[in-house]
């Protein structure tokens, strides 16, 4: 009887059925969290670069526009919609013209109403909305709902005169 028990124990020791399932059960949660984190980072990076490109286009436009503020609305539409008319869907879901802040700065970096040295476009109060709730997945309070706030500053090129009526904005 003891020999039979020893023989069965040796057979059981060599049997590898089910080992892959146990390994999968151990590794799968880690892989799911890594996949979700990578996907969220990619989405955040996409939102950030898209907003930075829109801000850069608007700053480039305002760097050559009139300085009296008449073109600010067109520049905000350019950031949000990608066109001056403000038609279509926003380039990033949930973005509005109130999320775009335009500041003209003088030589010392202070806001000015006169002839600016630089123009600054900043995205404010816009938050990345994650698809995967990694905090709930890992049972922690961490969240990937972080602010997306690119900022672009360009030198004012002074190609337009500062006239009361001014040149038309698009």
Strand 151-155 versus strand 100-105 pairing type = unpaired
In 86-138, which ranges are E strands?
A: 100-105, 118-123
pLDDT digits (tens, 9 = 90+) for 58-93: 999 998 887 777 889 999 999 999 999 999 999 999
DSSP per-residue string spanning 38-63: HHHHHHHHHHHHHHHHHHHHHHHHHT
pTM of the model: 0.78
pLDDT digits (tens, 9 = 90+) for 107-158: 888 888 778 889 999 999 999 888 877 776 667 777 778 899 999 999 988 6
């Amino acid at each position: 009887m003891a020999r039979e028990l020893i023989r069965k124990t040796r057979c059981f020791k060599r049997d590898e059925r089910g080992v892959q399932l146990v390994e999968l059960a151990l590794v799968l949660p880690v892989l799911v969290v890594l996949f979700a984190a990578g996907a969220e980072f990619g989405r955040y990076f996409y939102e950030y670069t898209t907003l930075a490109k829109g801000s850069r286009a608007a700053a480039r436009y305002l760097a050559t526009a009139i300085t009296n503020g008449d073109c600010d609305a067109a520049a905000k539409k350019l950031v949000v919609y990608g066109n001056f008319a403000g038609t279509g869907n926003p380039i990033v879901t949930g973005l509005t013209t109130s999320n775009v802040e335009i500041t003209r700065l003088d030589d010392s970096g202070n806001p000015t109403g006169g002839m600016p040295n630089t123009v600054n476009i900043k995205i404010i109060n816009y938050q990345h909305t994650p698809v995967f709730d990694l905090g709930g997945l890992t049972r922690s309070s961490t969240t990937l709902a972080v602010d997306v706030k690119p900022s672009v500053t360009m030198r004012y090129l002074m190609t337009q005169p500062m006239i009361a009526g001014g040149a038309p904005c698009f």
